[in-house]
Structure 1
């Protein structure tokens, strides 16, 4: 809603002692589509949440933190912007999360001398209702599966421990192991792998959309991993 929304937000937080801000909201829909196929409004909604809202909320709490001389801002980005060179069929999502990383790094430099720590955390897949297998029992999953896809509680515990430790971090151990593996794989190979994987996801989403169109009362409780946290 533009300047008016920001004014109302600033008014709402004016009397609050906000010590820590966590910008965790994010959209990844439409998932696994070519840019020319999706409705423009869908991209706009994603950008509004992933870029605009995050920036507005951060701008709203900063004056109070500056006045008190302390505070921490944690922005949740995406490991896709750090571990792999591209994320085809999720292009706008990946680009929006790269914005989060760059904004966080710049704000970290701007405000660290004034007692405010700004950090971008870049998780890979976390077990939520939006990730594949979220409804499966944890007991049925292998040790490796649990390592690379922690529950939201497991990720949160690790994330808290990393606040204040640099402008960019990947708190989960399993995610860092994946990062190391991707680091030694050639970019062209990662590009091809991601394209093939996301094309497979594209087929799944098309089937899901067809099912929803034919059965509007069906509720989907398990989507593929289009959002990390």
Structure 2
């Protein structure tokens, strides 16, 4: 945080994109995860977001500019700072082709549901300044719209099935790394 504050000192920061996140170890039940792994996710996904925003926001208030952020925090910032001429927006993409999702999991999703990072980035830039919450990509907007009509239990069931599928893939990958072919272990298919 000290290095960040030094790096932004004197800079006219107009946009903050909180885009860091980890999901390792992914697709596990809570009782299967080491506490330190969970705390690392909390430190990156929640604590770091808050610290970075707190470090950058004072200068933005002076210059009347603010960051995009996660949903509830963004909405609160939007309400609190709108009167100061600061626009805060939370962008909600769905599946983006990144390293946070394994190749096997990406391939198991309906291909039209997954957007490439460049397309997602271009759509995100076009939506800056258009309200406190947006789903910038058309493919993701359609998913958001469809999800609004589904009973919550169906959405929950789908997400659980998807995560359990990813969990099975990750377990198979871990097993194949622990027992590579030719080391006396059984043959395991590798996913890339």
TM-score tier by shorter-chain length is 0.7 to 0.9
Show CA shifts across 1:88-141 (max 9, x none). xxxxxxxxxxxx31111101111122122211111101122333549x9xxxxx
Higher mean C-alpha displacement, 121-130 vs 17-26: 121-130
Identify the structure with bigger relative contact order (alpha carbons < 8 Å, sequence gap 6+).
Answer: 1
In structure 1, the residue matched to 2:127 is: 162
Provide TM-score, normalisation by structure 2: 0.84
SS in 2 for 1:9: helix
Higher mean C-alpha displacement, 190-199 vs 101-110: 190-199
In structure 2, the residue matched to 1:92 is: none
Alpha-carbon distance in structure 1 between the residues aligned to 2:5 and 2:125: 26
In structure 2, the residue matched to 1:46 is: 41
In structure 2, the residue matched to 1:24 is: 19
In structure 2, the residue matched to 1:90 is: none
Deviation, 1:52, is 0.7
**Are the equivalent residues in 2 in contact too, given 1:107–1:118 (CA < 8 A)?**
yes
Structure ranking higher in strand proportion = 1
Alpha-carbon distance in structure 1 between the residues aligned to 2:169 and 2:191: 14
SS in 1 for 2:100: coil
Q: Does 1:116 align with 2:81?
A: no
The unaligned stretches of length 5 or more in structure 1 are: 76-99, 137-143, 223-229
Provide TM-score, normalisation by structure 1: 0.71
Show CA shifts across 1:137-180 (max 9, x none). xxxxxxx724x222111111110011111111110111111112
Q: Does 1:14 align with 2:12?
A: no
The unaligned stretches of length 5 or more in structure 2 are: 181-189
Bigger CA radius of gyration: 2
Deviation, 1:24, is 0.6
Matched residues, number: 179
Shift of the 202–221 alpha-carbon distance from structure 1 to 2, 3 Å rule, reads closer
Alpha-carbon distance in structure 2 between the residues aligned to 1:177 and 1:32: 25
SS in 1 for 2:16: strand
In structure 2, the residue matched to 1:57 is: 52
**Are the equivalent residues in 1 in contact too, given 2:68–2:88 (CA < 8 A)?**
yes
Alpha-carbon distance in structure 2 between the residues aligned to 1:37 and 1:129: 22
